[in-house]
Amino acid sequence: MKTGILAVSFGTTYRDTREKNIEALVAAVRASYPDCQVYQAYSSGLIRKAVLAREGLAIFGVAEALLRMKEDGVKRVVLMPTHIIDGIENHRMKQAAREHRGDFARMEISDVLLASEADYGKTALALWEGVREEAGRDPVIFMGHGTAHPADESYAKLERELNRLTDNGVYIATVEGAVTISDVAARLGSDGRLCGRILLAPLMLVAGDHARNDMAGEKHSFASKLRALGCRPDCLLRGIGEYEGIRAVYLEHLGRAMERIRR
């Protein structure tokens, strides 16, 4: 029975970070499962249109990819979300999967990055190892996307795990979640760390538009707000898909889903 894997990302219009993060993860999936056909989908229609216009590269949406898999004779499908938390985007993907569940003999969905208690420790270690050299002894602020979904609480939990690994002071601020850069700046002040150099790094699979504009941009960004407070922000434009330890967590989750579908 033919098995296919569908890697689902929000997507990015930046080719360099796409290749270093999304494509690197998909390449690792193909290397791990050479007997399976691996497909990709971007959940953002705007990003799909932009990539097509700029590069002539057509990328499926989730529903389109599942229909293609059906046409290709795939009978068992595993969806592998590259989302960090089980928030709004992941639930939209699950809804699209449910609508096409009847097209396949079996369907499984692997977990997002932060799903189990063990995932938080593994993810924190991978993140810290990824930025430790650039951080030196300075505080670190990771920029997460954030969500109105209750899963937004995952960021605070991950932050606690990160601070078990170092005395630098590691904080997570979000673009659209409950904890903003202003909240983190206030905490930096109360912790006596609101001065000097601070490393800013994305807590997103890719270092795309949010990283380059909301985090590192000249105006209305995390960096500009910290500069206004007298800090010296140093921006690391590196998606977390570049970290081997992060890719390992996604592959571990995929492995469990593959075990379930082959039973």
To which residue do tokens 């959940």 refer? 43
- What distance in Å separates the CA atoms of residue 82 and residue 40, rounded to the nearest whole number? 11
Cα gap 189→203, rounded to integer Å? 22
Name the maximum alpha-carbon separation found in the chain.
61
Q: Are 210 and 174 in contact (CB under 8 A)?
A: no
Query: How far apart (Å, rounded) are the C-alpha atoms in residues 113 and 253?
Result: 8
Q: Residues 83, 145, 210, 253: which is the catalytic one? A: 145
DSSP characters for 127-140? HHHHHHHHHTTS-E
Distance between CA atoms of residues 194 and 221, nearest Å? 17
Per this entry, what is the length of the chain?
263
CB 221 within 8 A of CB 213: yes
Residue 210 annotated among the catalytic residues of the structure: no
Residues carrying an active site annotation? 145
